[in-house]
Amino acid sequence: MTKTLLTLIATAMLSSTAIAAEIKPALVYGTGGKFDKSFNEAAYNGAEMYKKETGTEYRDFEPTSDTQGEQAIRNFASKGFNPVIAVSFAWTSAMEKVAAEYPDTKFVIVDSVVELPNVRSVVYNEAEGSYLVGLLAGMASKTGKVGFVGGMDIPLIRKFGCGYAQGAKSVKSDMQVFQNMVGTTGAAWNDPVRAGELTKNQIDQGADVIYAAAGASGLGVLQTAADNKKFSIGVDSNQNHVHPGSVLTSMVKRVDLAVYNAYKDLAEDKFTAGVQSNGIKDGGVVYAVDDNNKALITPEMKAAADKATADIIAGTVKVHDYMTDNKCPL
Amino acid sequence: MSTASVPLPNWISYGVLPVLNLLVAFFISGLVVWSIGENPFQALKLLIEGALGRGEAIGFTLFYTTSFIFTGLSVAVAFHAGLFNIGSEGQAYVGGLGAALVALALDHYVPWYVTMPFAVIGAALFGAAWAFIPAWLQAKRGSHVVITTIMFNFIAAALMVYLLVNVFIVPGKMAPETRTFLPGGQLPKLDWLMALFGMKLGPAPFNVSFIIALVMCYLVWLLIWRSKLGYEMRTLGISPSAAVYAGIPYSRTVIIAMLISGGLAGMMALNPVMGASARLQVEFVAGAGFVGIAVSLMGRSHPLGIVFAAFLFGILYQGGADLSFEMPNITREMIVVIQGLVILFAGALEYMFRPAVVRIYQTLSGK
């Protein structure tokens, strides 16, 4: 009896220490840089959120090349940081190597899948989120023409564009969707001027809602749309505040939650490896509504978006994911 | 009398002056570091340790060095013929395609030492092919090679992204890259070379292409200073009209110089593509082509100078990354500033201290 009691107490104590465990978190950004007002900044916000809540300091690093990214992930792991989070698909092969070298360290990769027992892969269904904002764009458009400006021409960004086009065409099947990419190099994530030029071009062709999925380049899209009194749609972070009244909504990818949850889960000893797929159902991708754009989203638009959300969750509407077959059915 | 024309012994021109420039560059960088509230001596210590402190660090430094030697040689060969090849970046990118195609075709069947010569030829051919059009336009149409090669960098980026996203990508994978090469398509690491010095290479990707780079240094030296073609190229570089008057065919020499330059740039791809990541990735060149311009300038377009300059930039790259890792206050933009200062003083302002040094030399030698 006493023995069982002691064991119970011991287990209770053990688990309580586990809850209060101190972690030494690290974060490696994509090459776009920390303050891109978009993808990387969302990760930064997640880490800051955790720091504010728990007082746990974290270390971060902004690599400039693939070799540096791998070095940074390995450096963090070898110095005892745990968990090590790498945001961006660019670190896939680096993660495969380093995670195998440090099996006791927990790793998280965002936007890609690494199949190792100590890696959590967080992916998002951007096609679904883009479908919703495409739907809103289609309803807000008076000309029947909407635009999409992507960053670098890679499958991930085509996935955004493809989901968006499907959403817009669900409103009106003859909806015209212009699609342009800023460039073919990493510089495309950080070229607001060229993004702005592409936007101007699409506006000249009649587009009146333009969706930007282009990292820091997207700021050029938002700016140009605001200058021309048209609507724009932000991406990754909530960008509604950038040009209130002109940014129709933002397709928010909750990368901040991915980072925050990973830290929290490890501190509470609840960390799980494997693929975490976040779609509309799990609140991983949402369209942002706040005080800045409340007036722009009419009750009909909201109703249509809610219905589409329900349909996607129920499975009656299937949004085609470009990356499954590298094709867009439109 | 102007001090510019006073001859100086080689040990001053090639030893004292570069070291002096480097010291000034580090001094100004130290002021920058100090101004943001960090200890410059601590920063310098971290930078040196990060680049040369352990076997692994040296391995990374030499990995970067290898890339910079190739691109430095590429720029230097064109420079000797009076051509400013800004296109090494794009030529290296396309060269990666040549290396990758060979690796993808052969890695199932043969060991690496059989693949390697074909890969060297493949990379060089593709790099040279990418330099051919700008070279032809320069030779026959007078389109300035600086402009055309810059433009070809963008075309190379577009072409490679198209191929990787649409053709080579492994279906279902997120990253646009080819499949991983089997060992038959990889260049092995130089662990044994590091072991000779009692150091462990660890995960650093220092590989056989370093040796290829050194061989190319020797071949470039032979070409430029010991061959008829090299003589023609140098003559053309010093005075095109004199060269033509002497009967040196302008178009042919320009095109050949650019082809060699492009081929050397293309070979740079062996290092990251077959030596490190064992796959062809988007943007694997990562600016090495542009660093090659600075390396060539600093190395006075001489292979030996290029090896030293490439090593210096290897230290700056690897040590810089380590520095910004250890001192989070020093952002990656700060590292670019420090690299820029070194280029400014060691490359662009190379003759700034020359008059003063000449005066001191004259006083001391009693002339």
Q: Does a structural domain hold residue A231?
A: yes
Contact B239, B255 (CB under 8 A): no
Residue B183 lies in a domain: yes
CA distances from residue B364 to A78, B3, B184, B360 in whole angstroms, order as listed:
54, 15, 60, 6
Of A59, A93, A155, the CB nearest to B176: A155
Structure confidence at residue B65 (pLDDT): 97
* Cα(A286)–Cα(B132) distance, integer angstroms: 50
In a domain, A330, yes or no: no
For position A24, which CATH number holds? 3.40.50.2300
Which residue from B157, B174, B272 is facing A111, i.e. has the nearest CB? Answer: B174
Find, in chain B, the residue whose alpha carbon is nearest to that of A159. Answer: B174
Asked, for residue B208, whether it belongs to a domain, the answer is yes
Going residue by residue through chain A, which has 330 residues, state the pLDDT in tens, using 9 for 90 and above.
455 555 555 554 444 444 446 789 999 998 777 887 788 999 999 999 999 999 899 999 988 877 788 889 998 998 899 999 999 888 988 899 899 999 999 999 998 889 999 999 999 999 999 999 999 999 999 999 999 999 988 888 999 999 999 999 999 999 999 999 998 777 788 889 999 999 999 999 999 999 999 988 999 999 999 999 999 999 988 999 999 999 999 999 999 999 999 999 999 988 999 999 888 888 889 899 999 999 999 999 999 999 999 999 998 888 998 888 878 887
A68 in contact with chain B, both atoms CB, cutoff 8 A: yes
Task: Tell me: do A318 and A202 sit in the same domain.
Answer: yes
Same-domain pairing of A213 and A300: yes
Which residue segment(s) compose the domain that A294 sits in?
127-253+284-325
Q: Is residue B27 in some structural domain?
A: no
DSSP string, A275-325: EEEE-TTTTSEEE---TTTTTTS-HHHHHHHHHHHHHHHHTSS----HHHH
Q: Give the distance from residue A37's alpha carbon to the nearest chain B alpha carbon, in angstroms.
A: 18
Q: Is the pLDDT of residue B121 over 90?
A: yes
Residue B366 lies in a domain: no
Q: Based on the domain organization, do A177 and A289 belong to the same domain?
A: yes
pTM: 0.84
Q: Is residue A59 part of a domain?
A: yes
Q: Which residue in B has a C-alpha nearest to residue A98's C-alpha?
A: B203
Number of domains in chain B: 1
Q: Tell me, yes or no, whether A150 and A92 share the same domain.
A: no
Which range marks the domain in which residue B172 is found?
A: 39-328
ipTM of the complex: 0.73
Q: Report the residue from A65, A101, A324 with minimal CB separation from B286.
A: A65
Per-residue pLDDT, averaged over B54-73, amounts to 95
Pairing relationship of beta strands A84-87 and A231-236 according to DSSP bridges: unpaired
* Whether residues A114 and A167 fall in one domain: no
B residues 109..128 contacting A (CB < 8 A): none
How far is the C-alpha of B79 from the C-alpha of B297, rounded, in Å?
Answer: 9
A288: in domain: yes
Q: Where are the beta strands (DSSP E) in chain A?
A: 26-28, 59-61, 84-87, 107-110, 119-124, 145-152, 176-183, 209-213, 231-236, 247-253, 274-278, 285-287
Q: Which of B64, B171, B174 is closest, CB to CB, to A92?
A: B174
CB neighbour list of residue A240: distance below 8 Å, 6 or more residues apart: A234, A247, A249, A250, A288, A290, A292, A293
Q: Which residue of B has its CA nearest to A158?
A: B165
Q: Are B62 and B314 in contact (CB under 8 A)?
A: yes
Is B95 domain-assigned? Answer: yes
Those residues with Cβ within 8 angstroms of residue B168's Cβ, 6 or more apart along the chain or in another chain: B100, B176, B177, B178, B280
Instruction: Kindly report the number of other CB atoms within 10 A of residue B312's CB atom.
Output: 22
Whether residue A153 sits in one domain with residue A75: no
Q: State the Cα–Cα distance between residues B117 and B140, nearest whole angstrom.
A: 33
Distance in angstroms (rounded) separating the CA atoms of residues B218 and B291? 21
Angle at CA of residue A71, ends B158 and B42, nearest 5°: 120
What count of other Cβ atoms lies within 10 Å of the Cβ of residue B334? 20
Query: B 52-91 residues with CB below 8 A of A?
Result: 60, 63-64
User: Closest to B286 (Cβ–Cβ): which among A66, A93, A183?
Assistant: A66
Measured between CA atoms, how close is A247 to chain B, in angstroms? Answer: 29
Examine the domain organization and report whether A50 and A173 are in the same domain: no
B235–chain A Cβ distance below 8 A for any pair: no
CB contacts, 8 Å: A89 with chain B: 174-175
- Mutant choice from B323, B325, B329, B330 vs A, greatest count of A C-beta within 10 A: B325
What's the number of domains chain A is made of? 2
Same domain, A8 and A101: yes
Asked whether residue A113 falls in the same domain as residue A195, the answer is no
User: Rounded to 5 degrees, what are φ and ψ at B318?
Assistant: -70, -50
| Cβ within 8 Å of A, B 311-330 | 321-322, 324-325, 328
The residue of chain A nearest to residue B331, with distances taken between CA atoms, is A62
Chain A contact present for B283, CB below 8 A: yes
Q: Is residue B272 in some structural domain?
A: yes
Beta bridge partners, A82, equal A24
Of residues A6 and B352, more confidence is placed in B352
Instruction: Flag whether B18 is in a domain.
Output: no
| B8 lies in some domain | no
Q: Which amino acid is present at B183?
A: P
Instruction: Identify the residue whose tokens are 């360290």.
Output: A105
Spell out the SS3 assignment of B185-232: HCCCECHHHHHHCCCCCCCCCCECHHHHHHHHHHHHHHHHHHCHHHHH
- Quick one: which of B287, B293, B289, B244 has its CA closest to B83? B293
Q: Do A30 and A115 share a structural domain?
A: yes
Exposed / middle / buried, residue B53 (Cβ in 10 Å: 0-12, 13-18, 19+): middle
